Amino acid sequence: METITHNLVAVVIQILCFTLLIFPWNLIFTIIFAFISHIIFDALAVITYHTPEVQKEDKFWIVWHYFIYAVSLLSIVIFFIPYWLSMFFANVVDIWDWFTLRPIQKKKRKRTPESKWGDKLYFHPIVDWVREKLFFWLPKRIYKKSGILIEIVIILVFILLIGFLGGFTYLF
């Protein structure tokens, strides 16, 4: 799913862990649950609009991605203090796969195109495995534009949940 969705889930996880658990378990379980949440929510992402490839000719795709990147950035700014720890671990799967491993692989393949270095180091195959085992029954809607509505509803539900848990009161 999109970064903002992972961030909001992370905020809820950190609030719950820090309300229900004592040190150091609050920290430990925030990290563990945040990490797992990425895998679960990415596995669920088949019900939302998630084209595997960039669609630069499609205006809808472009507008949606500008919007979702903007609100994702906003969510990082708003929740960074005090939720950075949970947000970091809820995105570490993407930070590693897309922003670390892939660029390194690209560089290596420029020199040796047949290089298989790093192929086994990706986290996202775990997502595919979880999806096949647990969520195989979900309708696949990754090319359906209406799928953005599902992601927007999930985002709104989590914003409400954060409000309900008092998560905004730390911020101001």
Could you tell me if 148 and 62 are in contact, meaning their C-beta atoms sit under 8 angstroms apart?
Answer: no
CB of 20 vs Zn ion, minimal distance in Å: 27
CA-to-CA distance for 75 and 71, rounded, in angstroms? Answer: 6
CB of 148 vs Zn ion, minimal distance in Å: 17
Residue with Cβ nearer Zn ion (111 or 120): 120
Residue with Cβ nearer Zn ion (148 or 165): 148
Report, in angstroms and rounded to the nearest whole number, the Rg of the chain calculated over CA atoms: 17
CA-to-CA distance for 37 and 90, rounded, in angstroms? Answer: 6
Residue with Cβ nearer Zn ion (7 or 18): 7
CB of 27 vs Zn ion, minimal distance in Å: 23
CA-to-CA distance for 30 and 97, rounded, in angstroms? Answer: 21
Binding site for Zn ion (CB under 5 A): 42, 94
